[in-house]
Amino acid sequence: MPAASNGEILLKAIGAHGRPTGSTAEQAARDLCARELTSAGFTVGERAFEYSAFPGLWGTSIVGLLLALTALWVALRARSGSLGTGDVFGTALALCAIGVFGWWLGRYGITSLPVMRRRGMNLEGVRGVPKVWLVAHLDTKRQPISLLIRAAGVVVTLVAWLAIFAILAFLPNGARSHWIVALGWIAAAGALPLVLSWVHHTGGGTGALDNASGVATVLRAATLARRDMSLGVLLTSAEELGMAGARGWLAQRADGERGVAINCDGVDDHGQLTCTIARDGGVLRSALALLADGRMRTGPVRVRGSMPGVLFDSVAFAEAGWPACTLSRGTLGSLARVHTRSDTLDRVGGVSVEETARVIAALAGSIIAVEYRGDTAAEEQQQNGSTGD
């Protein structure tokens, strides 16, 4: 079988059906991935975890609703001319409380809330004693709006609130009411996509881009990496429900037992390869610099920080103190398909899977060289970090 075809075949096998968390379709995909990893020389096992589905199913909608109601209240108070200093401080405190509530719900509620408790299953493959882990999520979800619209709503809401407080701070009372009314409505409208971000699993797309493409890429990277390279592979469940799988797996690790996580989430046929760094730790940018020297002939890798409203499993690893990044490829059109009925195999063929897998395999080798062998050995590891099959 030609090596370039393997990624496309894996994508088609994994992305043929939606894989809601805990479904038989997700388990079937996990079994397929286990066979692929075993054939690549990994010791494979399933790792169960427990979590609350409430934050992932409803947390974003609740936070969005609270933000929208707060914005409407400010707009109505400003329109009636009764927005006083006490109201301003009260609004600031309310926004802080909403932010803290949303942060706690996403960071701790998933593991500690007693409501809607569920059991999930991660797939783990190890070869040697891994310090570098390749990560991708198997599960899928559907929402009424796309990831692009949700991210745009977060940006609009944030900018509108910053403008409201700037106007309250610098404009006199008589000149600011109509501006605050307009911005209050804009902030409420920006929060509407968050309100609509509840999760359902019926009908629509099959999660071909998000994230069958990422899983296929990680499996190919694991196969392409040198057989004598110590490497771990983690295929998580419930990423779409607040990164519950990654959080559950990290909670099971021994205290202080950390590595470096390379997550892959969304590899479209078009667009620039992007590395979103959640936490650098001094190793990721050094390793990426080796990829920029031209020897891999992959084209440039764009490096950026996290995007508002877009969460990857790498965020959970970063919160646990791991250097972590996410590799993805796509355009704004790709984000517009994520979580919608348009995310199907007829929109992504997997032509970029092989190239992206080679970058990930080489990046894993570079990280090992930079972090654990020193920069002198880095170039040799970069040259030998992946092999064709």
Q: Are 146 and 335 in contact (CB under 8 A)?
A: yes
List phi, psi (to 5°) of 172: -70, 160
Non-local (6+) Cβ contacts of 348 within 8 A are 11, 15, 208, 209, 213, 267, 268, 269
Characterize 158-191 residue by residue with b for buried, 16 or more Cβ atoms within 10 angstroms of its Cβ, and e for exposed.
Answer: eebbebbeebbeeeeeeebbebbbebbbbbbebb
CA nearest neighbour of 134 among 50, 205, 235:
235
> What's the token pair of residue 377?
């050995």
pLDDT at 287: 87
State pTM to two decimals: 0.89
For residue 357, the Cα-to-chain-centroid distance in whole angstroms is 18
Residue with tokens 């032509």: 351
Q: Would you state the pLDDT for residue 381?
A: 46
Q: Which tokens is 27 given?
A: 């388990």
Helix (H) or strand (E) holding 62: helix 60-79
Q: How far from chain centre, in Å, is Cα 43? A: 26
CA dist 221 and 316 (Å) reads 22
Name which of 224, 189, 241, 236 is nearest 69 in CA terms.
189
Q: What is the pLDDT of residue 249?
A: 96
| Nearest of 270, 246, 273, 216 to residue 5 by alpha carbon | 216
Task: Report the chain's C-alpha Rg in angstroms.
Answer: 22
Per-residue model confidence (pLDDT) at position 255: 67
Residue 101, pLDDT score: 96
* Cα gap 16→27, rounded to integer Å: 14
Asked if 324 and 261 count as a contact pair (C-beta separation under 8 A), the reply is yes
**pLDDT at residue number 138:** 97
CB 68 within 8 A of CB 191: yes
pLDDT mean values, one per 10 residues, the chain (389 residues): 65 94 95 96 97 95 97 92 86 96 94 95 96 96 90 94 91 79 96 91 82 97 92 97 95 84 96 93 85 58 79 94 95 92 93 93 89 50 50
Tokens found for residue 345 = 């195999």
What's the pLDDT score for residue 384?
46
Are the beta carbons of 209 and 23 closer than 8 angstroms?
Answer: no
Helix (H, G, I), strand (E, B) or coil at 58: helix
Structure tokens at 149: 């619209």
**pLDDT score, position 39:** 94
Locate 144 and state its tokens: 């009424």
CB atoms within 10 A of CB 294: 9
